[in-house]
Amino acid sequence: MDKIISTRISFGQKAKDYTYAVLFFMVFSFFLLVVIKPNLSMVFELQSERDRLSLMDKGYTAIIAKIVNVQTVLEDIRGDLHFLNESLPAVPQVNQLVNDINQTAVNSGVTLNGLNINEINLKDTQSGGEKKDLVIDMEITSGFIEMKKFITLLGTQRRLKNIENIRISKDNKAGSASANLRIQMTLESFYL
Amino acid sequence: MKYRLNLFLPKKKTLADRGVYFALNYLRYILVITQIVVIGVFFYRFQIDQEIVDLKEEIQQKQEIVIVSEPLIKEAQAIDNKVGIISGLVSEQESFAAGINYLFGRFPEKIKLENLNMSKDGRIEFSGQATDVNLIRIFYMRLIKEAKFASVEMPLLEKKESGFLFRMALSGYKQ
């Protein structure tokens, strides 16, 4: 009897039963891992998906704003675009080039002695976006002022022409005027 | 000292009793917390799903706008490419013209130009003849003083019966 009493006293006052607490944490851990964690992970995944889409949306908005801007600029300059095509045509347009040089020679008062167009592929109509050269060698005879005018006029034409090389020497041919110069010029024109 | 003694034997709890006790006192908290989280996520998901769907639709529409605008973009790229090429060519042309105009503008009338070579890289070589060597010297000094060319050289100056023959080489025109 004494033993029973002492056991009860000690049980009631000092010893504790942790079975429920342990079970509580085990069950709660199970719910945490199996139910709460997947739900919270899904929330974070959805948030990151929303942020990603939002960023993409902003990117597309910026692109569209640029497209609208480009469209506005294109509409503004559409009337002047033919100038670009005239200065850098899609095809060689050799006849136009020869006409230009001939007309310039006439206007500036130089004598065009010879004109040689280097090899050119007239069938090549593919444009890779890179400029192709059209090289013209020519020989003219003129005075100093006329030559200056000829060079200036060549530079003012819409079809772009660059002087690649110019060689000026005195014309020693018999009967030529003393002021006459013999000019050998390599001209470069371009097309796309 | 006073003790309250319970002399009855303690009632032995069965497993079912313990289970019911656990469910009523502990499991309900776990279930409540879990339900709060799950319901919260459920409603949040409603909201965020709607946002995601809206964003996806918006992006799709914008992608279609971009696809439709592709020819316009290509045209703009082609024009931009052309403008770039033309700018470069015009710049070369202007540089060449400026160099030659500068030289011709300062070439003394009393010096006879014998020959002149000018290449695309801007190098100018010329030779001339003058009766007075001072004219050549003044012309040479002027070219150096104005410093429009990075390099001004006179590799030849010789006296001949007809006058003084000289050769000059200029390069690196600065606009």
For residues A69 and A92, membership in a common domain is answered with no
A112 shares its domain with A70: no
B158 touches A: beta carbon within 8 Å: no
Nearest residue to B71 via CA among A126, A70, A113, A119: A70
Q: How confident is the model over A76-93, as pLDDT tens digits?
A: 998 988 888 888 888 888
**Mutate which: B17, B31, B53, B55, vs A, most A CBs within 10 A:** B55
CA–CA separation, A87 and A133 (whole Å):
13
Query: A75 and A93: one domain?
Result: no
Of the candidates A50, A61, A64, which has its C-beta nearest B51's C-beta?
A: A50
Q: Residues A39-61: what's their mean pLDDT?
A: 95
**How much is the pLDDT for A10?**
52
- What ipTM, to 2 d.p.? 0.72
Q: What are phi and psi of A77, to 5 degrees?
A: -100, 0
Contact A42 B62 (CB under 8 A): no
For chain B, the DSSP string reads -------SPPPPPPHHHHHHHHIIIIIHHHHHHHHHHHHHHHHHHHHHHHHHHHHHHHHHHHHHHHHHTHHHHHHHHHHHHHHHHHHHHHHHHHHHHHHHHHHHHHS-TTSEEEEEEEETTS-EEEEEEES-HHHHHHHHHHHHHHT-EEEEEEEEEEEETTEEEEEEEEEEE--
Q: Give residue B158's identity as a one-letter amino acid code.
A: E
Host domain of residue A43: 1-80
Chain B interface includes A153 (CB < 8 A): no
Q: Are residues A36 and A55 in the same domain?
A: yes
Q: Looking at residue B43, what is its pLDDT? A: 93
CB distance from B109 to chain A under 8 Å? no
Token pair of A170, please? 């005195």
* Mean pLDDT confidence for A104-116: 89
Q: What residues of chain A lie within 8 A of the CB of B13, using their CB? A: none
Residues B28-87: pLDDT tens digits?
999 999 999 999 999 999 999 999 999 999 999 999 999 999 999 999 998 999 999 999
What residues have CB less than 8 Å from A39, skipping those under 6 apart? B37, B38, B41
Structural domain count, chain A? 2
Bigger pLDDT: B141 or A127?
B141
| Burial of residue B5, with CB atoms counted within 10 A of its CB: 0-12 exposed, 13-18 middle, 19 or more buried | exposed
Does residue A66 sit in the same domain as residue A20?
Answer: yes
pLDDT, tens only, B89-106: 888 888 888 888 888 888
- The answer to whether residues A59 and A153 belong to one domain is no
Final residue before a domain boundary, out of A58, A80, A102:
A80
Q: What angle do CA B131, B118, B133 make, to 5 degrees?
A: 15
Q: What is the structure's pLDDT at B44?
A: 93
Q: Are residues A105 and A71 in the same domain?
A: no
Q: What fold is seen in the domain B87-173? A: Gyrase A; domain 2 (3.30.1360)
